[in-house]
Amino acid sequence: MSGPLSGVKVLELGGIGPGPFAGMMLADLGADVVRVDRPGGGAFFPGMEHLDLLNRGKRSVVLDLKRPEAVAAVLSMAAVADVLIEGYRPGVAERLGLGPEACHARNPRLVYGRMTGWGQDGPMAQQAGHDIGYIALTGALHAIGAAGGPPQIPVNLLGDFGGGGNYLVIGVLAALREADRSGQGQVVDAAIVDGTAHLLAGTHMMLATGTWADERGVNLLDGGAPFYAVYETADGRHMAVGALEPKFYAELLAVLELDEDPARQHDKAHWPALRDKLAAAFASRSQAEWSAVFAGSDACVAPVVSLREAADHPHIKARGSIVEHEGLLQPAPAPRFSRTPTALGTPPPAPGRHTLEVLEEWGVADAAAG
């Protein structure tokens, strides 16, 4: 593998969602990521493991962690790994004999990353949960949606991947850097509630300054402002408008040929009338027509496209942000590096495909531990 993490060994104890996403990110960055799968599967989509993009670039070993030999094998792998990540409920790894204490006894430099929804402690730590519940308790879900309507679910991007997997990677990389200086590993407690709350720092800033009302659809960045909103076009498609700065707003008005005073942009009493004008303007042409009109403009207007359509957008295509690799449409690794470029690795492996290969390579004596 190429990339800035080339040479870093990561052991991922199989799970679903944000933990595998973090493992994928580390693999995208060049780390050698080995996923420990359970016998008989455990994948989110059984029988379709070859399509599970969260496991791209990884190798898979199958080990039955209910067997002492398998636990010993994982501890032997942890002894030579740089990072271990797990997404069990608090206490499960300890009961398996694979908690931080056991692993650090074998490898004091190990960075032990833990991915949960509620965190390792707190009154809800042992409760089951999913993205929607985690973001609900941070205030994030409450803030998303139209005025007078219910909260809208932002897929599972905000919690699982934004506040979860991304923060586990941030923590792991920071701990790796510190271990280079101190020679000591540590535990990274990455909780989706913590990460999602952290993502709301800018919103809390506006709340503190009085520029954000603690309700949906009435604020500058939640669709309340008519110049930061989504409008339907003549063909039932949509255009996204983000003309926040005065010069961009002025250009929006000019392109739409609206008779509006740019100085009234932030006059909230005028927003309903302005929204009606913008809606009528966008409803007069198709999405393709408006896309052509705004091409090259600084009015900050873009078409709302589907996942499949995005791959064919000229800018996305030119950047290679979404590509077809090994027959699968998928996002390219991000971010990009000038000296140690990343590259898409191997396709998602079948569980256990690399068991013997990895155990031998990582120096595990009992290659039949699974």
Catalytically annotated residues: 130, 160
Can you name the residues that pair with 58 across neighbouring β-strands?
A: 33
Return the H-helix or E-strand segment holding 174.
helix 166-182
Q: How far is it, in rounded angstroms, from Cα 53 to Cα 64?
A: 24
Q: How far is it, in rounded angstroms, from Cα 130 to Cα 192?
A: 9
Q: Is 6 helix (H, G, I), strand (E, B) or coil?
A: coil
Question: 298, 127, 116, 238: which is closest to 189 by C-alpha?
Answer: 116
Question: 209, 237, 206: which is closest to 224 by C-alpha?
Answer: 206
**148 touches 217 (CB < 8 A):** yes
**69 touches 364 (CB < 8 A):** no
User: Within 13 A of 223's CA, how many CA atoms are on the CB side?
Assistant: 16
